[in-house]
Amino acid sequence: DAKTTQPPSMDCAEGRAANLPCNHSTISGNEYVYWYRQIHSQGPQYIIHGLKNNETNEMASLIITEDRKSSTLILPHATLRDTAVYYCIVRVPNSGGSNYKLTFGKGTLLTVNP
């Protein structure tokens, strides 16, 4: 899996948009970008994934640059419950070899302040 780089921490005001960046400059053409988050003392929670087009679901939006070397996870209206560690992971889904596992870095601790 390609290595990702994320800032160790970020702050956001409640109600504002939280924009979490991720660099994945060595991503290959068939690797997807996945985002998970982990609230304190819970297991990781899947948020969203994408290949090259921007994606949106009920939780967040994912913006992937045209060269696919970086992406941004956007939480449009952050709440206190969004305080968590956010992990950006790149991998090839449903292929052989070692691509069944998720390789987590240290992620970004997002703190949403009242």
Partner 1 sequence: DTGVSQDPRHKITKRGQNVTFRCDPISEHNRLYWYRQTLGQGPEFLTYFQNEAQLEKSRLLSDRFSAERPKGSFSTLEIQRTEQGDSAMYLCASSLAGASKNIQYFGAGTRLSVL
Residues within the interface to partner 1 (CB under 8 A) = 32, 34, 41-46, 49, 85, 87, 93-94, 98, 100-107
Minimum distance from residue 67 beta carbon to partner 1 (Å): 21
Taking the complex as a whole, the smallest distance from the CB of residue 43 to partner 1 amounts, in Å, to: 3
77 or 100, CB closer to partner 1?
A: 100
Which is nearer to partner 1, 43 or 114 (by Cβ)?
A: 43
Distance CA 104, CA 28 (A): 18
In whole angstroms, give the CA distance from residue 42 to residue 29: 32
Q: Which is nearer to partner 1, 14 or 99 (CB)?
A: 99
The smaller minimum CB distance to partner 1, of residues 29 and 43, is found at 43
Given the DSSP bridges, would you call strands 45-50 and 32-38 parallel, antiparallel or unpaired?
A: antiparallel
Query: Minimum Å distance from CB 44 to partner 1?
Result: 5
**Which distant-in-sequence residues (6+ apart) come within 8 Å of 105 by Cβ?**
3, 4, 5, 6, 87, 88, 89
Q: By the 8 A CB rule, do 60 and 84 touch?
A: no
